[in-house]
Chain A
Amino acid sequence: MSAPAASAPPWMGLLLSGFAGRRLRVQAASAAHTPRPVLTDAHLLLPEAMLGDEGLPATRAAVAHAMAHLRHSVGHQPTAGLKPMALAVVSALEDVRVERLAMAELPGLRRWWAAFHGDAPADGDMSFGAFIARLGRVLFDPGQRDGNHWVDKGRDLFERQAAIDLRDRDAFRRIGSVLANDLGQMRVRFEPQKYRVEPAYRDDNSYLWIHTEKHDLPPPDVKSLDATPEFGTLRLGAAQAAPDAEPQPEEIELGRYLVPEWDHRIERYRRDWCTVVETVPRAPARATTSVASLPPPLPRAAAARLSRARRLRRQFEGDEIDVDAAIEIQVDMRLGLAPDARLFKRPGREAPHTSLLVLLDLSESVNDPVVGDGRAVLALEQEAALRLAQTVRGPSVRVAVHGFNSNTRGNVAYQRLLDFGAPFDAGAAGRVSAARARHSTRVGAALRHAIDILAAEPSTRHTLLVVTDGAPSDIDVFDPRYLVEDARAAVQEANRLGVLVHCVTLDPAGERDARRIFGWRRYRVVTSPTALAAHLRQVQARAAVA
């Protein structure tokens, strides 16, 4: 197996999204499949080789070039009528055109790109790639001269049109055809398999075209990238050990509960519609996770400790005089009333008791590896939940970690991995890290059950934190809105009971559903799953001050 692909640092995605004005992901792709970056409507795939420590200038240039396409190119044009060579020439001119437009807007980009426009190819090199590179060079830096007739002609045609209107794509397409035709006359051969777009930061231009004819370049093999590294090698715990080989039942059933479900089409609850099967998993015999081996707890947020609101007023003793009380005493004295002697105030040391339930999505999809990280989403969920539990547990915060999945309405599995008040020891940590993911995501039923458990907690604040990787689904539901609306109804029930429900979703595509279900400021999209623990901590801290 090949080494796990390097992940694309999150700032690249942020940079591209900011430039493009919408959410796009930057991902690493194996260099064997993608020698050049590949741009799609939702992604920018960068060759691994670009992402090394020295890669910042190259990736930055690639992100900026992708942004130029997204802003100024029209993607997915039919190639009808263009031969492969013409296609390559037109694409090269399009690269220059969009870069010019982008530089007009953002002059700093010239520096980002200039470093990659190096020396001219040798004069004797009469290959197609050399001609395109020479043309690209004189067009990038108008101060350069070349001397070759074709290159100069290309530059003149381009500059003439650029002076008229740089935004007229069709005109540049015609120029590309003319130049490609000339190259044909010059008997320059085009070998699609050997040709690479230069400089390396430019994408392969597959974004621009829809390939409709047989003799076109084959589109790059994007599919194969999804099957990146095998997951599991770095997972916590023993969950990945061959599941079918376990002789004894993995979990102990605690009870079955019937919960209602909201049907948005009839706007009624269906009573006792789902069966929640509550279980507690057996701790793995060989618990590989001890508390000591866990990653270090997260730094505590200072804000969680600061409790200005906890200043206790009108106390018999304290370190400050409560001016309001003192004045009232004086007023009472002058009015001839018996004053109340409590005139001090002191800061309250007790934070309110909070119960925090972390509900993990344990459906099949969380077994997918995180692109670029190599670990499964599940492993990250588990690690994040453990770190969070370890960090926030204390005298005033009770933490539970539960998980759920579903296999039709008759079997919504609800696993109590770590319970409120249970000792946080190797057994508990082992149960969390050994949880298996399978089946579907009927989130509403699980939410209702979790809310019931939380509402029974004696604390003053109740927070439910749901970690999921996507939209709810189940195999017996075909209306995509059904489970979303049901979950939304469950969250509203929670709000009425005073349980705050927050969600962290790992799937940017699920943002709309998350917003619908949890409300517009009760969810967060985490696109760098490695930072999940930190995000959970922040969400928890925010919920704590609510």
Chain B
Amino acid sequence: MGPSSLLDDYCLRSEPFYRPARNEIDLYLAAYEHRMPLILKGPTGCGKTRFVEHMAWKLGRPLVTLACNEDMTASDLVGRYLLDANGTAWHDGPLTLAVRHGGICYLDEVVEARQDTTVVIHPLTDARRILPLDKKGEIVHAHPDFQLVVSYNPGYQSSAKDMKPSTRQRFAALEFDYPPVAVETEIVAHEAQIEATLAHTLVGIAERSRALKHHGLDEGISTRMLIYAGVLIRDGVAPRDSCEMTMTRALTDDPDMALALRGFVDAAFA
């Protein structure tokens, strides 16, 4: 099996839609030029994952995505010995795969992983660019095309976790937020395939909900939720029902907050 075919499954088949809000594409390209590790941070559903998919497609690199969680161990990242007919055999973990064969490794919600897990990326993310596999006794030198990208959501308080300073100082960071109204309208209209006027109305509802952040809402209505709402409306669901289902009920259990959100929805539709 050649290296290219190993990562074939990780290559994107078609161009993922991404509408830049500012100059983030140029900044990413500049960082990739030097294979600089990147943090993408921003609220949930604002397009971080879509952005990295788009960039991987643009650069023609395979994208190895890993959703981090608390139970994840370093072995889940770098690989482990497994048993087979001939005894034990080493199996590369997803990170090692990307490091060896030149993919972009994307660790989604990196703060969910325990801090002692994430330190394995340290030697990869400085000038050494190596990944020591201590169990196997091998040092993997990173492929020239390899890049590490991680994402996290600083606003989500319940995690109350943070990255170690020694980890985060290895990264350059791009901050994402919900795009400006006009751009977000365009995105919602395109993704949900709805009229721009309807998309604009939905974005208006989201704007109002975002004003309530920190006052009972951890996060406002995200772009992703707007797209869900738009898709259901396009398929014939009444706008209020669609918003109730994809926004109000999805976002909060607090009856007061639900009433306020319902007010924004009700006011927005004739």
Contact = CB atoms under 8 A, between A and B. Distances in A.
Given A17-B211, A107-B269, A112-B267, A11 B73 contact: no
B268 A107 contact: yes
Contact of B88 (A20, A111, A334, A528): A334
Q: Which of A15, A17, A111, A309 has the most CB of B within 10 A?
A: A15
A110 interface: yes
B256 A528 contact: yes
A528 B255 CA distance: 13
B87 interface: yes
Interface in A22-41: 22-23
B88 A330 contact: yes
Interface in B247-263: 255-260, 263
A14 B266 contact: no
B215 A327 contact: no
A308 interface: yes
Interface stretch (B35-43, B139-147, B156-164, B166-174): B156-164
B11 to A, nearest CB: 30
B60 interface: no
A19 interface: yes
B260 A14 contact: yes
A311 interface: yes
B180 to A, nearest CB: 14
A525 B155 CA distance: 16
A291 interface: no
A543 interface: yes
A19 B264 contact: yes
A60 interface: yes
B190 interface: no
B158 A542 contact: yes
A185 B258 CA distance: 52
B157 A521 contact: yes
Contacts of B83: 327, 330-331
Contact of A108 (B214, B258, B270): B270
Contacts of B17: none
B20 interface: no
A10 interface: yes
Interface string B219-258: 0000000000000000000000000000000000001111
B263 A11 contact: yes
B215 A542 contact: no
A327 B80 contact: yes
Interface residues of B, number: 38
B160 A542 contact: yes
A19 B268 contact: no
Contacts of A42: none
Contacts of B159: 545
Contacts of A542: 157-158, 160
A11 B259 contact: yes
Contacts of B214: 524-525
A311 B260 CA distance: 41
Q: Which of B88, B161, B204, B207 has the most CB of A within 10 A?
A: B88
A7 B75 CA distance: 56
Nearest to B83: A330
Contacts of B88: 327, 330-331, 334
Contact of B70 (A64, A308, A331): A308
Contacts of A17: 211-212, 215
Given A23-B215, A521-B157, A11 B256 contact: yes
Nearest to A67: B267
Contacts of A327: 80-83, 88
Contacts of B71: 308-309, 311
Contacts of A328: 81
A527 B263 contact: no
B270 A19 contact: no
A9 B80 CA distance: 57
A442 to B, nearest CB: 27
A98 to B, nearest CB: 14
Contacts of B207: 21
A252 to B, nearest CB: 38
A546 B160 contact: yes
A324 interface: yes
Nearest to B260: A14
A14 B257 contact: yes
A106 interface: yes
Nearest to A523: B214
A106 B215 contact: no
Interface in B87-118: 87-88
Interface in A321-338: 324, 327-328, 330-331, 334
28 contacts: A9-B256, A11-B257, A11-B263, A14-B215, A14-B216, A14-B257, A15-B264, A18-B211, A19-B267, A21-B207, A21-B211, A63-B263, A107-B268, A107-B270, A108-B269, A311-B71, A327-B80, A327-B81, A327-B83, A330-B88, A334-B88, A521-B160, A524-B214, A525-B214, A528-B256, A542-B158, A545-B158, A546-B161
Interface of B: 70-71, 73, 75, 80-83, 87-88, 155, 157-161, 204, 207-209, 211-212, 214-216, 255-260, 263-264, 266-270
Counting from the closest, the 4 A-B pairs by CB-CB distance are A107-B270, A14-B260, A546-B160, A11-B259
